[in-house]
Amino acid sequence: MSNHQPDPASPLPASGVLRAPSLGDAPGVRHAFFTRWGGVSTGLYAGLNMGIGSSDDPSAVRENRRKAADFLGLPDADITTPWQIHSAEAVIVTEPITADRPRADGVVTKTPGLAIGVVTADCGPILFADSKAGVVGAAHAGWRGAAGGVIEATIARMEECGARRENIVAVLGPTITQANYEVGTGMRAEVLDGTPDAARFFVPGIADDKAQFDLPGFILARLARAGVAGSFIGRCTYAEEDLFFSFRRATHRGEADYGRQLAAIAIDR
């Protein structure tokens, strides 16, 4: 990616934002899976780094998030994201939260004009909507959160807000895919301990003690088992460096930190 960054006042390029038809067709719902294109961060974070928890310049992250809110058509809004801890916790929010963010990996709202989301850099960002009930949600689903129940917890919080799971549409955004996700036997055992039928999402790795894990497939299976229609946007964070930040890619290169991309959703005012 080029180190040249646009002026802070410039808008995000529409070609650098991904949208899912199933959510785009939902009346009264706005959403976006943002890539790393169009932001003001530099260096390791070059582009649209949304990670409050990264070591990037906080003012750059704030400007990047402002750009995202503006793209969603909510220029005066803050995008509420939780303090993600790879848990199965999901919370309901009714107003913007920028300080004392809840420690959770799922966030749900029925408040019009309140943008919510999650940040990721290989884990699965899932956006949910029940447009009939006017309820939306977002979940950060790494292997630990997905196996632990964050998907199901997010759906349950949506139901508490009036959603019906048969009306919920869920889309998994850019996520690391099986070809690039080598894991150890310990992680495989933990997943299988909680989900015995998940063996089909692992194939042998190059080394005897390694396996390749299909995280998108596992997430879609959890959604289906929960009775929610789900789809995958089909993009790999590790493989597409020009578009996405990747924790694993940064780790393989010995880099000190990494950027995060945002998945966000809101109900119209």
- pLDDT at res. 5: 45
Q: How far apart are CA 173 and CA 193, in angstroms?
A: 26
Q: What is 14-177+214-267's CATH topology?
A: CNF1/YfiH-like putative cysteine hydrolases (3.60.140)
- pLDDT at res. 9: 61
**pTM higher than 0.75:** yes
Q: How far apart are CA 131 and CA 27, in angstroms?
A: 6
Q: Indicate the domain borders of the chain.
A: 14-177+214-267
- pLDDT at res. 2: 38
- pLDDT at res. 208: 85
User: Helix 215-225 to helix 150-160 angle, to the nearest 10 degrees?
Assistant: 40
pLDDT averaged per 10 residues, the chain (length 269):
51 90 91 97 97 96 96 90 97 92 97 97 98 97 97 98 98 98 95 93 91 98 97 97 97 97 95
- pLDDT at res. 98: 78
- For 115, 184, 225, the CA distances from 228, given in Å and listed in that order, are 22, 30, 8
- pLDDT at res. 63: 96
